[in-house]
Chains A and B, each alone.
Chain A
């Protein structure tokens, strides 16, 4: 067993960080909780919990409407998150960041609004074989409606995208390339910069699904030259039900609203509506105000911790966890990409992932089992499901020791 402080950079005090996350201080089934399921949703620090609570206790009012003090406070707090996001992702302006429910809604917004205006019969859209269902289904629906063709970048046995195949798929009919920055099922960090360059060279736009990337690495949308970048707040230690879509201003300007309603209008008569300016044009109705404010607190929290230190520490955890798991009899890690985020997906010979998940739960260890909303990835590896441990910077090597000991016991139980 090794201590967290031996793996963590000097700037990260893991013990202190863990104190910021109240959920981690509990027992589950009589054992201290080991939470290795941060890819579906990450735990929330007090900074986020307190910001949401403060909104409900002190500032609660609807935004962009009232002239009274509370409405002004809540509007300011909500819009502050947007300004923070501009700096956080190095966007050009507040116009480029749309509040949405999460990555799924962000992708659907682009597929509906941009897609229906720009994708015609015979056009092509490229996604990858690594995608989460949320970056597959909206494009399937669009292609079906418009008579367009959906193509897939294949992956190799390690779980890396095959860029030579991608190069061959790109052509003058390609309108959009939509790929994940990091695979949720395998942890693969995709080479999104060259993917974007290659698409742009062919005149296609690129949407990056950043849901699994933003908790682990800093993202500069202008350095990437992404046309759209989507993420969910709750995977970035923020509340559920809020996320953002980044889009280049000129693209968003050219797009029709996704939903109609309050807040997205300038003037409404019974006959005609003038739409509001960006970003509000895409924000119909009362949004998740508390969530948006909580997300701002999450940006600040993660910035204070420091994403470079986080990435370095998580990589150490990944290496350590990989070594431990490789020693378990009959265990095979699925996803061994050259560049990986801190995801350990695996199968054990003759043992169903749901049995592994249930026995681990009885040991107080939370992992995800199943297809991870990425059935095409499972099909590619010829397996129905995996067990997946997904790590965040609040995890420790001691927790990975607990996981390995649990898996060792499971291997013996089912031997």
Chain B
């Protein structure tokens, strides 16, 4: 009774105890995202070795759906190549915005499929992913990242 089928156990858990919610000093990719609807703000950090994501983290504040989405996204990215990450982004976006049958290979990300019934909230669930795209296409110099002021970051808005 307490749990709701959109705000299920996984989303509630990841919104209250987000994983990988920390700054990353040695990140070599970074981007900021902003969802004007909810006021969600997100900074995404990635560490790529060669073509592979070896670490992903985020900082920010937002609604439960955007926080849980960032948390689960950072979990799912580790070990994936750039191309695999971008493919996952496309699959995720399609799952949330179309009537395609729910895919079984989404793993935990499947919990967001309920968002498709709430078009106004799709932006919340996809903010982290839009920010990912921006972070992946914009290479950052590792040594610069600690002095954040020197590095203009990509600003993503889902508006």
Contact = CB atoms under 8 A, between A and B. Distances in A.
Interface residues of B, number: 19
B15 to A, nearest CB: 8
B25 to A, nearest CB: 28
B34 to A, nearest CB: 12
B4 interface: yes
Interface string A329-359: 0000000000000000000000110110011
Contact of A352 (B2, B64, B118): B64
Given A354-B124, A355-B64, A413 B37 contact: no
B3 interface: yes
B17 interface: no
A362 B4 contact: yes
A409 B118 contact: no
B38 A414 contact: no
Contacts of A413: 2-4, 7, 12
Interface string A83-118: 000000000000000000000000000000000000
Nearest to A412: B2
Interface string A400-414: 000000000100111
B121 A384 contact: no
Interface in B60-75: 62-65
A150 interface: no
B103 interface: no
B16 interface: yes
Contacts, number: 43
Nearest to B67: A352
Contact of A358 (B1, B2, B12, B118): B118
A184 B53 CA distance: 48
Contacts of B21: none
Contact of B39 (A351, A362, A385): A385
A35 B39 CA distance: 25
A358 B15 CA distance: 15
Interface string A370-385: 1000000000000011
Indicate the member of A354, A385, A412, A413 with the most B CB atoms within 10 Å.
A354
Contacts of B2: 409, 412-413
Interface in A202-238: none
User: How many residues of A sit at the interface, in one of the four size bands?
Assistant: 10 to 19
B119 to A, nearest CB: 11
A189 to B, nearest CB: 28
A159 B124 CA distance: 30
B122 to A, nearest CB: 12
B4 A385 contact: no
Contacts of B121: 354, 358
Contacts of B89: none
Contact of B38 (A361, A362, A385): A385
Interface string B1-23: 11110110000100110000000
A384 B65 contact: no
Contacts of A412: 2
A362 B6 contact: yes
A345 B7 CA distance: 23
A414 B12 contact: yes
Contacts of B38: 352, 354, 384-385
A384 B39 contact: yes
A351 B121 CA distance: 15
A352 B7 CA distance: 13
A359 B4 contact: yes
Contacts of B4: 359, 362, 413
B64 A414 contact: yes
A358 B64 CA distance: 11
Contacts of B16: 414
A358 B4 CA distance: 11
B51 to A, nearest CB: 36
A414 B64 CA distance: 9
A26 to B, nearest CB: 17
Contacts of B6: 358-359, 362
B12 to A, nearest CB: 6
Contacts of B7: 355, 358-359, 413
A412 B7 CA distance: 12
Contacts of A359: 4, 6-7
A354 B63 contact: yes
Nearest to A351: B64
A20 B65 CA distance: 38
A362 B115 CA distance: 12
A411 to B, nearest CB: 10
B97 to A, nearest CB: 17
Nearest to B64: A355
A355 B65 contact: yes
A352 B37 contact: no
7 contacts: A351-B64, A352-B38, A354-B124, A362-B6, A385-B39, A413-B2, A414-B16
Interface of B: 1-4, 6-7, 12, 15-16, 37-39, 62-65, 118, 121, 124
Given A358-B6, A385-B39, A413-B7, 4 more contacts: A354-B38, A358-B118, A370-B37, A385-B38
